Amino acid sequence: MILSTDVWAAALIRRAELSGGFGVVARKGDARAGAVLVKAVNLSDRTVRLYAEATRGDGERVWMRPTAATEEPEVDAYIARAARIDPDIWVVEVEDKQGRHFLTEPVEEG
């Protein structure tokens, strides 16, 4: 991430809001270099997807789903485990009627 984490998170929230969604920082970590989890809530069917930044084998930075869970309690349990391991982690929650994540970086849904 080129931007500091706090600036990047604010930009994601702003992008969501400009597109008709809603975003909030659900957990703050290290303002300059904390890792980020993006929790995307689909308001139409109440499913949830979680995204984490990762590096592919070729060195490209991408967003991927660290868990296949789509139920909120399962995703929240994953987030709680991740926060115990990395206390500097951020969680940005975005809500949208279409379930969009509002990430502009490459995303691997697989």
- If 0-12 CB within 10 Å is exposed, 13-18 middle and 19+ buried, where does residue 3 land? exposed
pLDDT at 1: 47
pLDDT tens digit string along 53-103? 988 888 888 999 999 999 999 999 999 999 999 999 999 999 999 999 999
pLDDT tens digit string along 90-107? 999 999 999 999 999 889
Rounded CA gap, 32 and 56, in Å? Answer: 23
pLDDT tens digit string along 7-42? 999 999 999 999 999 999 999 998 888 899 999 999
**Homologous superfamily of 5-108:** Protein of unknown function (DUF1491) (3.40.1530.20)
**Measuring CA to CA, how many Å separate 84 from each of 26, 48, 51, 67, 73?**
15, 21, 18, 17, 17
Determine if the pTM surpasses 0.75.
yes
